[in-house]
Amino acid sequence: MSHPWWTRYQFGGVWRVAAPASRIFAVLDEPEGYPRWWPQIRAVRRTGPDRGLVTIRSVLPFELRVGVRRGRRDQAGGRLEVLLSGDLEGALRWSLFPDGPRTLVVHAQDCALTAVVPLRFGPLARPLLRANHAAMTRAGERGLRACLEGDLDLG
């Protein structure tokens, strides 16, 4: 399906986390746990062995409902891919690189926004949506660090 240019987004970044890649991989590979450490991931419901439905809400006053499906998974190589459908269509990729006592967590997202509410504002919404995503990403990095560095109870 073709999407207008202004609905397409590419996001990415690097998180530096003081934990081994194997521990980080285990947390990223368990989507039901995301709401415990990533505040904007409001709910995750498994709908099949490698599928689920995620509800996301950041700063802006609307929720995204995103179908997720496991893509490529390479535990030894530290690579995970999640295929997105619904209010976002595309893919999210995680790549882990050991770096001394830390791990570099590289995330890359290539997607098209299909949710009705933000699309009503057309291209004018792009700066707000980018800022909203940046806030969400910063919170995810803080949450993952807290989770893996023992500052967050996952009980």
Per-residue pLDDT, 6:
86
Is residue 154 a part of any domain in this protein? no
Is residue 113 a part of any domain in this protein? yes
Is residue 29 a part of any domain in this protein? yes
Beta strands in the chain (DSSP E): 8-17, 41-48, 51-56, 64-74, 79-86, 88-99, 102-113
Per-residue pLDDT, 154:
47
CATH of residue 126's domain is: 3.30.530.20
Is residue 155 a part of any domain in this protein? no
Per-residue pLDDT, 74:
98
| Sites in the chain below the pLDDT cut of 70 | 1, 151-155
Its domain, for residue 27, covers 5-148
Per-residue pLDDT, 155:
45
Instruction: Give dist(CA 38, CA 41) in Å, integer.
Output: 6
With contact defined as beta carbons under 8 Å apart, do 90 and 112 qualify? yes
Instruction: Give dist(CA 40, CA 67) in Å, integer.
Output: 16
pTM of the predicted model over 0.85: yes
Is residue 67 a part of any domain in this protein? yes
| Residue range 110-119, pLDDT digits in tens | 999 998 888 8
